[in-house]
């Protein structure tokens, strides 16, 4: 075997076991099937050691599909000093006529495709970044559960022709009004009390998650970026945190266009024979980040101004960041009104604003100095 040979190892991972196949870096070399190993950390470490002993002068490159099992396999193999790639299942090339799918073939295809350079790895977050992402997503799920409980209670009242005459729902006055309602049947009264109790519990759960998120985000290494991009209109703490936890380091994108394409806000295209046809946005990539940006883009329908709340968020930020935020607000507000006057649909206009908003977020994040991650200890260190 030649020195510096690369061995590509394809892993088809599952909860209980992992199918393993490998091949050398010579194009056209046979893809060999190693077999099935347990998905336990001890078994995967032993499998890597076997490759090290069999190919002592080779570099091992592992690849597997992203899935519900997370990134612990990536972190295990990289901690052993090997290269590891995680690929999105939707971006793996597949032959149109291929009708047979097995775990063995999947592992062999991964090894072959990564050797041929046909796979693009995805971004893998650091463990601390993933922890903040879990907390941010848990807060969003709590809000979703609370809204579902409110909808169910309002549906119950609507079926019984009970309407609230006040101005705002779910205020203290509205909650007191709910406790005074008497339904005609005891069974319905019991359901009403259970729904009120559920809403109270989910309100308390949401408050706990809000407090935890606000506390832990301030200790996060990306908090300087989260604080800086809140200088933009429509980007408060929850939106800023959600975008950064989903997209990670925005400076890894070479250009704003690549970032726009990554989150799926660029239009699809089907051009042929000199004819160009642009369709709806691709909606690829992270859907939660795209939705948060669209929600933030709605605030640009009003004229540009610095509100009291926005001024408070900008206090203590560098002048360069504040200037970029004001430039972004002026441009996006004008663009919103210009597209509306052209007769564009409001959803199309908001999507176009969101597409440009992420470019300004990337530009502001480049102005912030972040602590680096020590690859050996995985601890954040502030550069000297």
- Supply the CATH number for residue 12's domain: 3.30.420.10
Among 276, 277, 283, CA closest to 354: 283
Instruction: Establish if 383 belongs to a structural domain.
Output: no
pLDDT surpasses 70 at 75 = yes
**What is the number of structural domains in the chain?**
3
- Select from 185, 217, 249 the last residue of a domain: 217
Question: What local confidence, expressed as pLDDT, does residue 199 receive?
Answer: 96
HSE (CB half, 13 Å, CA atoms) of 107?
A: 24
Question: Is the entire prediction scored with pTM above 0.85?
Answer: yes
The conformation of residue 151, written as its DSSP 8-state character, comes to H
**Region class of 21: left (phi > 0), else alpha (psi between -120 and 50), else beta:** beta
pLDDT of 206-215, one tens digit each?
999 999 999 9
pLDDT at residue 2, as a whole number: 52
Q: Residues 265, 349: one domain?
A: yes
One domain for residues 165 and 50? no
Query: In whole numbers, what is the pLDDT of the chain averaged over residues?
Result: 92
Q: Determine, yes or no, domain membership for 322.
A: yes
Token reading at 106:
């999947």
Domain assignment present for residue 292? The answer is yes
Closest CA to 18 of 103, 108, 89, 118: 103
pLDDT at 99: 86
Average pLDDT over residues 204-227: 96
Secondary structure of residue 21 in the 3-state scheme: strand
Identify whether residues 110 and 249 lie together within a single domain. no
What's the whole-number mean pLDDT along residues 153-161? 95
In a domain? residue 348:
yes
73 and 168 both lie in a single domain: no
Are residue 322 and residue 342 in the same domain, yes or no? yes
Last residue of a domain, one of 72, 97, 116: 116
In a domain, 19, yes or no: yes
Domain-located, residue 377? no
Phi and psi at residue 37, to the nearest 5°: -125, 160
- Judged against a pLDDT cut of 80, whether residue 344 lies above it is answered with yes
Give the whole-angstrom CA distance, residue 363 versus residue 371.
Answer: 18
Contacts 24+ apart (CB under 8 A), 173-182: 178/153, 181/157
Distance of alpha carbon 101 from alpha carbon 83, whole angstroms:
27
Whether residue 92 has pLDDT greater than 60 = yes
Is 296 in the same domain as 339?
yes
Q: Are residues 92 and 168 in the same domain?
A: no
Banded model confidence at residue 379, pLDDT cuts 50, 70, 90: very low
111 shares its domain with 132: no
What is residue 272's DSSP assignment? B
Q: How many CB atoms lie within 10 A of CB 171?
A: 11
Six token digits for residue 258: 């690549």
Distance from C-alpha of 338 to C-alpha of 155, rounded to nearest angstrom: 40
Look at residue 121 and tell me if it is in a domain: no
pLDDT at position 29 is: 84
Angle between helices 237-247 and 186-217 (to 10 degrees): 70
Do residues 256 and 200 both lie within one domain?
Answer: no
Q: Domain containing 280: what range?
A: 223-372
pLDDT (tens digit per residue) in 270-313 = 888 888 888 899 998 899 999 999 999 999 999 999 999 999 99
In the listed set 217, 244, 271, which residue is the last one of a domain according to the structure?
A: 217
Which parts of the chain fold into alpha helices (H)?
Answer: 41-54, 72-79, 103-116, 127-159, 172-179, 186-217, 223-229, 237-247, 256-262, 287-297, 308-314, 319-341, 346-365
> Do 337 and 207 fall within a single domain?
no
Residue 185 counted as domain residue:
yes
State whether 234 and 136 are in the same domain: no
Query: Which residues, other chains included, contact 284 with Cβ-Cβ below 8 Å and sequence gap of 6+?
Result: 261, 262, 264
Residues in CB range of 172: below 8 A, 6 or more apart: none
What is residue 60's predicted lDDT score, i.e. its pLDDT? Answer: 95
210 and 229 share a domain?
no
For residue range 135-153, list pLDDT tens digits in order: 999 999 999 999 999 999 9
């Amino acid at each position: 075997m030649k020195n510096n040979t690369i061995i590509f190892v394809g892993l088809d991972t599952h909860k209980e076991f992992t199918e393993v196949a490998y091949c050398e870096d010579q194009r056209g070399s046979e893809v060999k099937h190693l077999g099935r190993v347990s998905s336990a950390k001890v078994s995967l470490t032993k499998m890597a050691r076997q490759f090290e002993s069999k190919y002592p002068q080779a570099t091992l490159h592992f690849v597997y599909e992203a899935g519900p099992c997370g990134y612990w396999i990536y972190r295990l193999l990289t901690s052993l000093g090997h290269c590891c790639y995680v690929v999105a299942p939707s971006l793996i090339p597949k032959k149109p006529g291929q009708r047979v799918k097995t775990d063995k073939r999947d592992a062999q295809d991964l090894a072959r495709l990564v050797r041929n350079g046909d796979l693009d790895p995805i971004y893998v977050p650091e463990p601390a970044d993933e922890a903040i992402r879990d907390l941010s997503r848990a807060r969003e799920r709590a809000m979703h559960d609370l809204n579902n409980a409110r909808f169910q209670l309002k549906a119950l009242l609507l079926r019984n022709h009970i309407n609230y005459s006040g101005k705002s729902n779910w205020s203290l006055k509205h909650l007191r009004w709910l406790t005074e309602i008497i339904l005609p049947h005891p069974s319905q009264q019991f359901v009403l009390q259970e729904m009120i109790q559920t809403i109270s519990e989910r309100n308390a759960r949401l408050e706990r998650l809000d407090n935890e998120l606000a506390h832990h985000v301030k200790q996060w290494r990306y908090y300087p970026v989260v604080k800086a991009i809140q200088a933009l209109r429509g980007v408060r703490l929850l939106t800023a945190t959600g975008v950064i936890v989903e997209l990670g380091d925005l400076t890894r994108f070479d250009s704003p266009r690549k970032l726009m394409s990554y989150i799926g806000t660029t239009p699809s295209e089907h051009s042929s024979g000199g004819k160009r046809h642009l369709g709806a946005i691709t909606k690829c990539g992270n859907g939660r980040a795209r939705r948060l940006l669209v929600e933030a883009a709605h605030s640009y329908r009003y004229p540009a101004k610095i509100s009291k709340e926005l001024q408070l968020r900008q206090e203590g930020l560098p002048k360069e960041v504040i200037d970029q935020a004001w430039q972004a607000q002026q441009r996006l507000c004008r663009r919103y009104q210009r597209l509306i006057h052209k007769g564009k649909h409001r959803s199309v206009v908001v999507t176009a604003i969101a597409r440009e908003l992420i470019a300004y977020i990337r530009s502001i994040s480049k102005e912030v100095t972040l602590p680096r991650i020590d690859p050996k200890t995985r601890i954040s260190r502030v550069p000297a």
